Structure 1
C-alpha cells in the first residue's frame, strides 16, 4: 500500500490541549527536579523560568507554522517548506531516532514505577503493545485515554503537594535562602536545560496538525495554553519540594515527591505518588508513539523514509504501518538494552528540532505571522545556549545520529531512479 487517504480531523481544542499536557506532564515532573537541584540549588526556580521562556518562544514558532501548514510532520514539514529538504530531514530524523529511544526509556520507566525489577521488561513490552493498540484504534481513542491519564496524574500531584506541605518539616524560609548548587550560574543554565526537556512535549500538538479541526484557530490556541498549564504545574511542584525538603535533600533524591510525602504525616499518600508517576509515564509514552508515528508518516510521504510507512488505515485513519513498526522497534529495544541513562542525544535532537522550527518561522511572511520575529530569534538563541550546557557525550552522540541520517539520505538520493 503506497498511497492512502489523509488523516481525519477529529480533535478539538480541548483534545489538543489534553494531548499536549499528557506529553509534558510526564515522568519528568516526578524525577527531573533531583538533577536540577544538584545543578542549581534553589536556582532551579530561575532555571524553570528560563526553560519556560525558551519553551514559549519555541511554542509560538510551532503554533504559527502549524496554522500555515496544518498537516502531519511538525518541524520536519515546516523545515522542508520554509528552509529546504535537508533542514526538514535533519529535524525529522533527529526527532524520529531520538524519540524512538525515548519511547523505550519511557516504557521502562513505566515498568520501574509499577512492578519489581524481575518483571520490568515484560511489563514494559506490554505497555508498548497496549498503547500502540490504543493509537491504532484512532486519534479520538488516543485523546480519550490521555484525558484519563492526565486526570490521574493531576489528582496524584494535588495529593502529593498537600501531603508535602502539611509535614512538620515544611519551611517557607527555604525559598529565601539562595544556593546555586555545584556549578553556580552555569548550573542554573543546566537546570534550565533539564527542565526544558522535561516539559517540551507541546510539539506533539503540531505533529498532529492534520487531525485537528479548524487548525488555523485551534493549534495557536492549544499549544500556548497547554504549555502554560504545564509550567504552572511544574512551578507548584518545584516550590512545594523546596519548602518540604530544601535543595540539598532534593538533589540527593531519585524520587523527590515520594520523599516529600514520606516526610509528612500522610504516609498513606505514598502509593498515590507511585500511581501518579506510572500514569504520567504512560501518558508521555502515549504522546511519543502518536508523535513519532505522525512524523514518520510525513517523512515516508516524501520518500525520506520507506514509502510503505505512509499508509493510513482506511477505517481508523491513523498511520498504522508507521505505528506498528515503531511498536516493534521499541519492544526490541526494551528487551535488549536499557536506554534510560543513555539517550542524551535525544536532548540534542530536541534542540536541533526547535532551532529549525524557529528558523522556519522567522521566514514566514506578514500574513502568516501571529507573533513578532523577535521571539524566533530569542527561541533560536535559547536552543543554542541550552545545547551548550549539554554534556559533550550527548552532543557527540547527537552528531553521530545526524551523520548516520545524512549518509542514509545521500545513499537514498543516489540510488533513486
Structure 2
C-alpha cells in the first residue's frame, strides 16, 4: 500500500472494518493498539512476577527445586492451546475472545456456556489477584497486615483499575505497556542481582528432590508442584479480547498471543530460577519453617529499603494484571450484550465517549469487589470461590479446543492469515489431551485430612458454575434473543473477504 503513513493506517482500518462487517458486525472501538501494546495486555494478564512470587513458596515446599521444570512443560502444553486459538482468532477477530469464537465454531448454546464459565473465571481471578496484592502492599509501605486491611487494599486496587480502564483504550494500552516494561526489567534486574550476588545453591539443585515422596513416589509431589506452571500460562487469550481495538488483528493477534507464551514463560522461568538458587535453606521451606521464602530472599538481598523498591515493582505488576483482567472481562460482557445474550444488553453494549464499554467495565469491577467483600463474613468461602479462577479458565479453554475439533469434523478449514495447515488436527488433538490432563491434575484432591468441601473445592465450584449456567440457559433461553451469525465456521469458504484476501495467506507457526 503506497502513500503516507496516515493514509496507509486509514487503509488498514478501512480493511479491518470491512472484514468485521463481513463477519456480521460493526464497531466504534478505536483501533489504536500497536503490536507491542496488544502483547503487553496479554503479558500483564499472564504476569510472570505475580504468578511466580504468589505460588513460589507453596510449590517449592510441595515438590522441591524440580518444580522449576513445570514452567517449561506446562508452557509447551499451553502453546498447543495457543496455536489453536491463533487459527480461530485469525479468521474471527471479534471482541470478546472465547465467546464469539465458540459461537462461530459450534453455535449459540455452546458459546453461551463458554462465556458464562469464562466470565466467572475472570471475576474470581480479579478478586484473587487483588487480595493477593495486599501483603506486597504492606511490605512496600512498611505496615503489618491486620483486620480487614487486605479487603480494603483489594477494593482500592479494583477501583483504581476501573477508573483507568474507563479512560479509554489508549490509556489501557499505555498502562499495560508500562506494566510490561516494569515487570520485565524488574524481573531481569532482580533475578540477575540474585544470581550474581545472592546465589546459595548450585544449578544441580534443580534436579534435587530432597527425598520428597508421597506414597513412596516423588511424582505425585511433582504434579502437585506443577500448579506453579498451571496457574501461570493463561492470559494470551486477552490479546484477542480486544481484537476490534487492534489494527490488522487477523495477522497481529496470533503473533502477540505466541509472544505472550514464550516471552512471559521465559521471564517466569528466569524469575523462578533466580529465587530457587537464592534460597539459603531449602529444607526449612520444605519443612514449613520458612513459609514466605520470597520475602526472606528479598529482605536478605536488598535490605528494608531495597526490598520495598522491589515490592513497588511487584505492585505495578499487580495493578497492570488487574487492569488487563478487567479489560478482558468487560469486552466479554460487551460481546455477550451485543448479541443480546445477557440481561441489560442495551446498556452493556454501549460505548462511552472514550470508546470503551463503560457499563460493562463497571460490572467487571463490581462483581469482583462483591466477591472480595464476602471475606468480611466468610473468609473460607472466598478462598473456595477464588479457587475457581484457574480451573474456570482451563475449562473454558478446553471448550474452545473441543469446539475447534467439532468444527473441523464438519469441514471447517481455517482461512485466516495464520494457519497450521496439515498440522492443524494433530495440534488440536494434542491440545485437548494436554488440557484434559491439566484439568485432572488441578482438581485432584491432595489434602485427605482437610474437610471434603475444601479438598474438592475446585470440583465443587466448577459443578456449581456449570450447573447454574446450564439451568439458566435451559429455562431462560438467553441464546435465542439475538440474530448474530452462529455455527457457520464450516460454511465459510477458504477465503475471507477482508480486502486483504486473508485466506490466501498463511503464517508459519
TM above 0.5, yes or no, is: yes
Residue in structure 2 matched with residue 9 of structure 1 by the alignment: 31
Kindly state the Cα deviation for residue 223 of structure 1 after the two structures are TM-superposed: 0.6
Residue in structure 1 matched with residue 396 of structure 2 by the alignment: 353
State yes or no: 1:112 paired with 2:155.
no
Residue in structure 1 matched with residue 504 of structure 2 by the alignment: none
Decide which moves more: 227-236 or 97-106.
97-106
Residue in structure 2 matched with residue 395 of structure 1 by the alignment: 459
Query: Which is richer in helix?
Result: 1
Residue in structure 1 matched with residue 58 of structure 2 by the alignment: 35
Residue in structure 2 matched with residue 386 of structure 1 by the alignment: 438
CA gap of 1:408–1:238, structure 2 versus 1, over 3 A, is same
State yes or no: 1:162 paired with 2:192.
yes
CA gap of 1:231–1:250, structure 2 versus 1, over 3 A, is farther
Decide which moves more: 105-114 or 207-216.
105-114
Q: 1:38 touches 1:182 (CA, 8 Å); kept in 2?
A: no
Kindly state the Cα deviation for residue 292 of structure 1 after the two structures are TM-superposed: 0.6
Residue in structure 1 matched with residue 170 of structure 2 by the alignment: 140
SS at match of 1:141: helix
SS at match of 1:27: helix
Decide which moves more: 377-386 or 268-277.
268-277
Unaligned stretches of 5+ in structure 2? 1-24, 139-144, 446-455, 482-509
Q: 1:39 touches 1:188 (CA, 8 Å); kept in 2?
A: yes
Kindly state the Cα deviation for residue 289 of structure 1 after the two structures are TM-superposed: 0.3
Unaligned stretches of 5+ in structure 1? none
Kindly state the Cα deviation for residue 244 of structure 1 after the two structures are TM-superposed: 1.6
- Find the aligned partners of 1:255 and 1:273 in 2 and give their Cα distance: 16
SS at match of 1:32: helix
Report which of the two structures shows the higher radius of gyration computed on alpha carbons.
Answer: 2
Q: 1:207 touches 1:295 (CA, 8 Å); kept in 2?
A: yes
Say which structure, 1 or 2, has more relative contact order (CA 8 Å, 6+ apart).
1
Residue in structure 1 matched with residue 325 of structure 2 by the alignment: 288
- Find the aligned partners of 2:187 and 2:384 in 1 and give their Cα distance: 25
Kindly state the Cα deviation for residue 189 of structure 1 after the two structures are TM-superposed: 3.0
- Find the aligned partners of 1:193 and 1:210 in 2 and give their Cα distance: 33
Q: 2:384 touches 2:461 (CA, 8 Å); kept in 1?
A: no
| Residue 127 of structure 1, aligned match among 132, 148, 157 | 157
Matched pairs, number: 415
Deviations 1:297-343 (A, max 9, x none): 11122232121343232421111111112222223332332535642
The TM-score normalised by the length of structure 1 is: 0.91
Deviations 1:255-280 (A, max 9, x none): 43332233447664321332122122
Deviations 1:81-119 (A, max 9, x none): 112222222221111112112212222222332134454
Kindly state the Cα deviation for residue 123 of structure 1 after the two structures are TM-superposed: 3.0
Kindly state the Cα deviation for residue 254 of structure 1 after the two structures are TM-superposed: 4.8
- Find the aligned partners of 1:386 and 1:45 in 2 and give their Cα distance: 17
- Find the aligned partners of 2:227 and 2:302 in 1 and give their Cα distance: 34
